Structure 1
Amino acid sequence: MQSQAQTSAVPPPLTGARLLMGSFAVALATFMNVLDSSIANVAIPTISGNLGVSVDEGTWVITLFAAANAVAIPLTGWLTQRVGQVRLFVGAILMFVLSSWLCGIAPNLVTLLAARILQGAVAGPLIPLSQAILLSSYPKEKSAAALALWAMTATVGPIAGPALGGWMTDSYSWSWIFYINVPVGLFAAAVTWAIYRDRETATRVLPIDLVGLASLITWVASLQIMLDKGKDLDWFSSPVIVILAVVALLSFLFFVIWELTEPNPIIDLRLFKRRNFLAGTVAISVAFALFFANLVVLPQWMQQYLAYPAVNAGLAMAPLGIFAVLLAPVVGRILPKSELRVLATLSFLGFAGVFYMRSQFSTGVDMFTLVLPTLLQGVPTALFFVPLTAIILSGLPPEKIPAAAGLSNFVRVFCGAVGTSLATTVWNDRAVLHHARLVEQASPGNPLYAAALQSIESTLGFSPAQAAAYFERGLNTQAIMLGLNDIFWISGVIFAAVIPLIWFTKPDKGAASSTAAAAH
């Protein structure tokens, strides 16, 4: 094991080809990780059909990955000091490759979910370590540029995921959305090790909060399973859901009390006493939950109710990346000179406007109307992550930044999983409500209903029973559309409602630059 003395000197920034290749390898590993957070979105109907499960059960492929990823993030600090930054990063990439291969060969849903949980867990260190390694490769005065590069990579992954996943699912099979990680991961691991192995950080033996970790896993797992199974089991009318809710609540309360009294907590909850951290973390987590949930439900709706092939649904989501990528370097340049709260507010207003546009969709929506909000969403996406992250870390002493970054990432990623589960549930509930309201009008005594049936019979040559079934299918499709409109409308309202939280913060002047420098 390396000693503290052996690795105490901070290595100089990289230059030339080593900087280029190192940045590319680290960015590629980041891209691979965030890509897997969304690449399965458009493949869920296909995976569900192939494995003989419902689409709701197939969505667990997304939510369980995110939940496992969230739980693993707080362990990054302890693992880094125990193993070393570079070894942990490369090891996590290789384990990610292995778990991706296991996902691809999974013969049933249980095996696939087990592999996805492993994949999410080993992916935990990749995001925070990619930031740290990338920042250590650049001079301090270029920290903002390094963060902009990281943000561009982290933004493109979830955006490219649906398009790439749709193409692979239609052209080959859903297994290839996981197999693609194997060559990419092996290349990234090899190049990263070749360039950074002599830049390893110091290691030391630290105690680990096993009780805190166990209680964290217990309440996160109980809550996530409750949210995923609630609709199928009719929520609290089911003893299973009641038990899961009680376990989640009690283990969460125990977790909070334990972490506040433990001298070496796995999560430093005392950080929430700081207004910038509290308000910023709540804002970014709520926003990410809405952002990610809509990335899941929109492709599902296009495939199930607009009859889009997986590749077309993915391509319809792809324009999200155009402005996000083009504006990322611009944001990196203007960030040190800008009022962070203004940038974050503009981002939230942009998201609210985009979701309002989507709330006007109808069952006959054309491709231009479908794609336009997605294209425009790239603008607030570019203004989203970096300003809010700088606000969250503003005012913290350098030694607190790693713990704060890990905790805020944990909350954000976990809220993404919870948001997805809630969105699918609310969508179903609102669709049922709209269906009931529409059915009230479809009674034999309603002359408009009778005229509609007669029109269907005469136009399509259907019998009365066939005409009624045809009308019911159309009514169900309309109810699903209205339910989705509600999701979009509610999302827009919440984005606007969260804006005051941004202005509750008081980031220091030059917070973006000082935070990036402290990360060194």
Structure 2
Amino acid sequence: MSGEDNIFDRLTPRQRTLAGLVLALSNFMVVLDLTIANVSVPHIAGNLGITPDQGTWIITSYAVAEAICVPLTGWLAQRFGVVKMFIWAMICFGLFSMLCGLSMSLGMIVACRIGQGLCGGPIMPMSQTLMLRIFPPDRRARAMGLWAMTTLLGPAMGPIIGGYISDNWSWHWIFFINLPIAALCVFAAMALLRPVETETARVPIDKVGLALLVFWIGCLQVMLDLGRDHDWFADPLIVILAILALIGFLAFIIWELTEVHPIVDLRVFRHIGFTTGVLSLALCFGAYFSGIVVIPQWLQTSMGYTATWAGIVTAFTAMAALMSAPVAARMMGRVDPRFMISGAVLWLGLMTLWRAHWTSSIDFWSMAAPQFIQGFAMPFFLIPLTTLTLGSVRPEETASAAGLQNFLRTMAIAIATSLVLTGWGDGQRVSRNELAGVLQPADTQSALANIGLSTDQIRQIISNIVDQEALAIAVDHIFFISAMILFVAAAMVWLAPQPRADVDMSAAH
């Protein structure tokens, strides 16, 4: 332990500050990549000759790969050392970013995004672990504040940066910009972090559990992504994938509950506080992310917005979150976290309900208002939720609980993306049929004919108007369902007992 006791003396204050900035930058880059492609999907789809629906594989493949790799982070760090793994993860992340930018087909970009997610998954928890390792206890709060800011800033900047690059350069550059950042982080980590490397040990890995995890998540995600184009359970392929996902999931649960060294410790679900906390987290992130996915696509495909301006509308939420984060941090320890979480999620639900009344004639600031106002609630939900979940488990289970929490959050984002776009597409078709059934276009046709338009042109104009209105109605339906989910999550939080005060936050990925 003597080597660990003086670990803070291994770096000078200047080296420590530089290392902290590098770790925060690496986390920012990985979080940024979760949303940077959202507004660029229409550009990528057009360039590769695929539909925007197929283009969403670019979002979900990254999120799923990240979710699969997160439970492995602890084992990798113990086996090879946290600094060495961090450096290699950054090198591979940069390499796959370059390959994403060079992709010429859907298959290649999805494969490379999976590689990006597998390498990016461990970077977030490892950067946090290293932050806590290099800063002494009296400086940790400020260091973790900087780290948390990058977690909030990434999703905010992603749509704006992605939109600007897609509009003014080329979508390829949303991946190429990672290369200089990754190179800087690698060389800085090699120069600064080597003295704080962790000890290694030959820890066993649950190979069967890992294989089952990859199998059932893979089947589930392919089913969700292909279902839209294959008429769901009318297609035998989708039925087979659903059955395989269910069998894989049940086998995974049975194996993990009986394994001595499980890849995912499911036993922590016996704590009611943890279970209700992570389920609320999954529901909230899924409902919240539905807006991040659907708003940019709707604005670009139907409302005539550029990717840049669609990104700015989406980013207002995180801008407000940055302003309220210090207030939320100061309230921690003084207010029951359940009250903070429940109030914040209720606030998010009300703002989502507000957005459920958008129309095809809505202006920029009318969209920006609920986006901005809902952002103030985000830190009051995110910060205390960690206290609630990790404060509900035993101290020795904290690392497993934190990994599982991050896994469920990432999976919720991936599944929500698929379900939301499916619901949006189905809602558009239903709304279009309903509108066409009650349409009385005689007056419009005669008015357009009087200004010299042909019959075909008149039909096309009316069809375009119906399509635009159907899309807007479908967006409103998505927001209404999301609001109902958020209200359920706000109530669910109160099922958890009040957490203990002494929570070890060092494992909170």
1:309-348, Cα deviation, whole Å (9 max, x unpaired): 1112112223223221122223222223222112212221
State the AA in 2 paired with 1:470: I
Aligned residue in 2 for 1:337: 334
Counterpart CA distance in 2 for 1:286 and 1:11 is 40
Query: Retained in 2: the 8 A contact 1:151–1:386?
Result: no
State the AA in 2 paired with 1:436: N
Counterpart CA distance in 2 for 1:395 and 1:193 is 37
SS at match of 1:265: coil
Q: Which stretch of the first structure deviates more once superposed, 399-408 or 265-274?
A: 399-408
Gaps of 5+ in 2: none
Aligned residue in 2 for 1:22: 19
Q: How many residues align?
A: 508
Matched, 1:475 2:475: no
Aligned residue in 2 for 1:102: 99
Counterpart CA distance in 1 for 2:341 and 2:448 is 51
Shift, 1:308, TM fit: 0.9
Shift, 1:272, TM fit: 0.6
- How much identity, in percent, do the aligned residues show? 38
Aligned residue in 1 for 2:114: 117
State the AA in 2 paired with 1:451: D
Q: Measured at CA, do residues 501 and 15 of structure 1 come closer, stay the same or move farther in structure 2, by a change above 3 Å?
A: farther
1:71-92, Cα deviation, whole Å (9 max, x unpaired): 0000011111001111111211
Q: Measured at CA, do residues 53 and 93 of structure 1 come closer, stay the same or move farther in structure 2, by a change above 3 Å?
A: same
How is 1:357-372 mapped onto 2 (pairs within 5 angstroms)?
A: 357-372=354-369
Q: Measured at CA, do residues 337 and 18 of structure 1 come closer, stay the same or move farther in structure 2, by a change above 3 Å?
A: farther
Counterpart CA distance in 1 for 2:421 and 2:72 is 30
1:272-320, Cα deviation, whole Å (9 max, x unpaired): 1111210111011111111222211110100000111111211222322
Gaps of 5+ in 1: 443-447
Shift, 1:15, TM fit: 6.2
Counterpart CA distance in 2 for 1:397 and 1:85 is 24
Query: Retained in 2: the 8 A contact 1:160–1:318?
Result: yes
Counterpart CA distance in 1 for 2:383 and 2:365 is 30
Query: Retained in 1: the 8 A contact 2:290–2:482?
Result: no
Aligned residue in 2 for 1:453: 445
How much is the aligned-residue C-alpha RMSD, in angstroms?
Answer: 1.8
SS at match of 1:47: helix
From 347, 351, 360, the counterpart of 2:348: 351
Shift, 1:509, TM fit: 4.6
Q: Measured at CA, do residues 161 and 231 of structure 1 come closer, stay the same or move farther in structure 2, by a change above 3 Å?
A: same
Q: Which stretch of the first structure deviates more once superposed, 281-290 or 30-39?
A: 281-290
Q: Which stretch of the first structure deviates more once superposed, 75-84 or 494-503?
A: 494-503
From 214, 220, 225, the counterpart of 2:222: 225
1:226-270, Cα deviation, whole Å (9 max, x unpaired): 000001011111111111111111111111101111111100011
Query: Retained in 2: the 8 A contact 1:323–1:382?
Result: no
1:434-486, Cα deviation, whole Å (9 max, x unpaired): 111111112xxxxx43122222323x422233212211110111011000001
Aligned residue in 2 for 1:130: 127
Query: Retained in 2: the 8 A contact 1:145–1:329?
Result: no
Matched, 1:497 2:497: no
State the AA in 2 paired with 1:480: L
Query: Retained in 1: the 8 A contact 2:386–2:508?
Result: no
Query: Retained in 1: the 8 A contact 2:228–2:422?
Result: yes
Aligned residue in 2 for 1:327: 324
How is 1:93-242 mapped onto 2 (pairs within 5 angstroms)?
A: 93-242=90-239
State the AA in 1 paired with 2:8: P
State the AA in 2 paired with 1:353: L
Counterpart CA distance in 1 for 2:255 and 2:371 is 44
From 9, 22, 30, the counterpart of 1:33: 30
Query: Retained in 1: the 8 A contact 2:274–2:392?
Result: no
Aligned residue in 2 for 1:466: 457
Query: Retained in 2: the 8 A contact 1:360–1:485?
Result: yes
Aligned residue in 1 for 2:499: 508
Counterpart CA distance in 2 for 1:335 and 1:37 is 28
